[in-house]
Chains A and B, each alone.
Chain A
Amino acid sequence: MATKLGAYAGKVLKINLSDQTVSEYPITDDDRKKYLGGKILAARIIYDFIKGPIDPLSEENVIVVSTSPLNGTGSPSSSRFNVSAISPLTGILTSSNCGGTFGLSLKRAGYDAIIITGKSPSLTYLEITENGVKFNDASHLKNMLTGQAQQAIDGKSGKLVIGPAGENLVRYACAVSDDRAAGRGGIGAVMGSKNLKAITAYGVMQQPIYNADKLAKLKKKWTKRLKSHPLTGKQLPMLGTGALLSVMNQKNLLATKNFNTGKFEDFRKISGEEMAEKYLVKNNGCITCPIRCARVVNLDGKNIKGPEVEIMGLMGANILNNDLKKIIEWNYELDELGMDTISTAGTIAFAMELNEKGMWDCGLSFGKVDNITDTLKEIAYNTTEVGKKLAKGARELSKMFGGQEFCMQSKGMELSAYEPRAAVGQGLGYSVANRGGCHLNAGYAVVLEGLGLSVDPYTTRGKAQLAIMFQNLMEGASAGGSCLFTTYAFFPFFLMSKPNSIVTKLVNFLFPYFGPVIKIANKFPDILHLNLTSMLPHPVAITYATGMKYKMGDLMKAGSRGFNLERLINTKLGISQKDDKLPKRLTDEEQIKGDKRTKVPQEKLKRQFYKGRGWDENGMVKLSTLRYLGIDKLDDDPIYTRPLEEQGVVKVIAPKSIRKSIKKHIGS
């Protein structure tokens, strides 16, 4: 076995589509300890391949599909896998996390990750099994919708497919596994540019667990906590993420009319409550997930996947549409066509405002919904001039027609549905997130600033530090294989279940003042050499699953390493402080006229963020930061130059007694 750790498959494959060759890629256990898996491991791999800006739709681009140590261990909400590449939408690194079964199947086939390079001469699909990789002709799948394509591929395998949008190189095309999407950043277009219609994986391999008994006990407790937490145990299962929409509206957080305001008069008609009452059939979830936030809804007699809060907001309030049925229909259509819901919706809203201002006569108008369905098809199939232009994303439209100040994107990625002028920490996050205007990579500070807690949404105090802390936490949890919703349970129950108590009020008030303390922990996560198992079981689960001695600080440090590594890649691709910005509407115009607090004080927050991150004034990661994180000499050690034999010298870290337990487990 190529790894001495539990829970890892121990093998990474490099697949060259150009010459149809497959080789093992020399990832070592030291790499696994430092980069865990998922998006961080993918960033480490991609780092070696990227020397400078590339055309993301050329064969130079590299796709890394990576699993994580907790995948396949049965830990709660741990079936997530990651797809990373250089994004055709932003020109920088993108990483998309997906809850479909593909990741689990890949691991069962015996691989922790696959690296896809080159370009196939004709449309192909890859079949990955324990026996290796087969290159199949995919001409019969051409132009198929994602659902059709998955059905057309036989077998019990996990599948990752693209739709017509990916084949036609829509810059925000996604890849779909079951009814889940690796949505953001145009992974589908990168697959399309490589003539790669689909990847399937199948196997029955079970990775050994380092300490199966302890992990089983922990999983039980962890599941119980998630089930009894007000957010993950009640709100998300009952209402899905759509539950947030009404709250967002009440707190001026619901992006409305291309982020002109944060409140929508007709929010009730497009809310999670409305969906639950009129359309919900049942809730659904990824494998091993006790939260089950996904919705199955009935649309004209057919049971389909329901929408998430982001598209409910962006295809509702943000385009002044109050027809929830239409949103459900578009959401389904977008998944089938294989397009990211957030970027599609953001691009359409921008086009509507361009039209309203007389800058582009595209036929799209706020409140007009009868031509949207056709527009989605025009984008996916590139059939009209308007569709072709929309397929390039909002930033490209602003280059063609102007309107940069109200083009709601950061680094080329359209913003999610949270209006940041009513949550300035979220605004900072959008501007500095590695993949662009992403609410999650931002640190999701809006959960503190209104959706979970009620920390003052307008103060700048402590916000940079809080954003950094949650960025690191989410990077670490994601790389470990957990759904980010599991980090919600990080907050003690009483803060969520008793919002009116004096203690909760005090915590909300004091949170920003914790900034200096959090700053130290962010800079030197090693000091968190402890585990608070009930709040953050992730590092404990990683320890029991793999045998690596992970503490809270190690998880945060791995997260910080991941975030900084992604930044390093982006700086190679030309990113600096000039790119960490929001459109002027959000930084210069008050959301509530006359209330000076209601705009994002971007420069001040950015300065605090750079200092907290250990970056210089130009937004470059300082050498001292790289050194602390152990990623200062990556250029001296490209993984692909290592001999495969190197894996043999990795020391076994498990004590003798535990090794016996692994052997016993394998034996059983």
Chain B
Amino acid sequence: MVKVEFFGIYRLSYKMSSWEVDAHSISDLLKKLSKKFPVFTYKELKNSVIMVNDVNFLHLKKYKTKLCDGDSVFIMSPASGG
């Protein structure tokens, strides 16, 4: 399972600080998130700042970044500096 933590407007909008999901990539995670909690669409979530194990996913493989069991993903508001 991947541990997802929400920050900024996401945490307030989802009304939860974390969520656990079985996802194999960031793209997969965002799709599952938008389906399970349709507060934000997949397209909207693509504009969030995403950190995988403390590294901005832009420095990895963006939406194709692979996720493994035990990985930590932060999803932060867009206006948090990319």
Contacts and interface: CB of A to CB of B under 8 A. Distances in A.
A387 interface: no
A235 B77 contact: yes
A316 B72 CA distance: 24
Interface in A128-179: none
Contact of A246 (B8, B12, B54): B8
Contact of A238 (B12, B47, B78): B12
A500 B12 contact: no
Interface in B1-54: 7-9, 11-12, 17, 46-47, 49-51, 54
A500 B58 contact: yes
B11 to A, nearest CB: 5
Contacts of A243: 8, 77, 80
Contacts of A273: 7-8, 11-12, 17
Contact of B78 (A239, A268, A449, A497): A497
Contact of B17 (A268, A498, A505): A268
Contacts of A250: 51, 54, 74, 76, 80
Interface string A467-506: 0000000000000000000000000000011111000110
Most buried by A among B12, B50, B76, B77: B77
Nearest to A246: B7
Contact of B47 (A251, A449, A454, A499): A499
Given A238-B12, A273-B12, A247 B82 contact: no
A235 B9 contact: yes
A436 interface: no
B9 A499 contact: no
A251 B81 CA distance: 9
A391 B55 CA distance: 41
Interface in A544-574: none
Contact of A498 (B8, B47, B76, B81): B47
Given A239-B8, A250-B54, A452 B81 contact: yes
Given A273-B8, A273-B11, A247 B78 contact: no
Interface string A638-668: 0000000000000000000000000000000
Given A243-B8, A246-B76, A250-B54, A497 B82 contact: no
A451 interface: yes
Contacts of A407: none
Contacts of B51: 250
Given A234-B9, A239-B9, A500-B62, A452 B79 contact: yes
A508 B77 contact: no
A64 B78 CA distance: 40
A525 interface: no
A230 B78 contact: yes
A273 B75 CA distance: 13
Given A231-B79, A499-B78, A505 B8 contact: no
A276 interface: yes
A187 interface: no
Contacts of A246: 7-8, 76, 80
A402 to B, nearest CB: 36
Interface size class of A (residues with CB under 8 A): 20 to 34
Contacts of A452: 79, 81
Contacts of A508: 82
Contacts of A496: 78-79
B20 to A, nearest CB: 16
Contacts of B50: 500
Most buried by A among B12, B17, B76: B12
Most buried by B among A453, A454, A499: A499
A246 B58 CA distance: 19
B45 to A, nearest CB: 11
A450 interface: yes
Interface in A228-250: 230-231, 234-235, 238-239, 243, 246-247, 250
B59 to A, nearest CB: 11
B13 to A, nearest CB: 9
Given A234-B9, A273-B11, A276-B12, A454 B54 contact: no
A496 B49 CA distance: 10
Given A235-B8, A239-B12, A246-B76, A499 B49 contact: yes
Interface string A502-524: 00110010000000000000000
Nearest to B7: A246
B74 to A, nearest CB: 7
Given A234-B9, A238-B12, A451 B58 contact: no
Nearest to A504: B82
Contacts of B82: 453-454, 499-500, 504-505, 508
Interface in A245-298: 246-247, 250-251, 268, 271, 273, 276-277
A34 to B, nearest CB: 35
A224 B47 CA distance: 22
A554 to B, nearest CB: 29
Contacts of A234: 9, 77, 79
Contacts of A271: 7
A497 B82 CA distance: 9
User: 5 shortest A-B CB distances, which residue pairs?
Assistant: A499-B82, A230-B79, A454-B82, A247-B80, A496-B79
Interface of B: 7-9, 11-12, 17, 46-47, 49-51, 54, 56, 58, 62, 74, 76-82
21 contacts: A230-B77, A231-B79, A234-B9, A234-B79, A235-B8, A235-B77, A235-B79, A238-B12, A239-B8, A243-B8, A246-B76, A247-B8, A247-B49, A250-B76, A273-B8, A273-B11, A276-B12, A453-B81, A496-B78, A497-B47, A500-B46
Given A234-B77, A454-B56, 7 more contacts: A230-B78, A235-B77, A243-B8, A246-B76, A247-B81, A450-B81, A451-B80
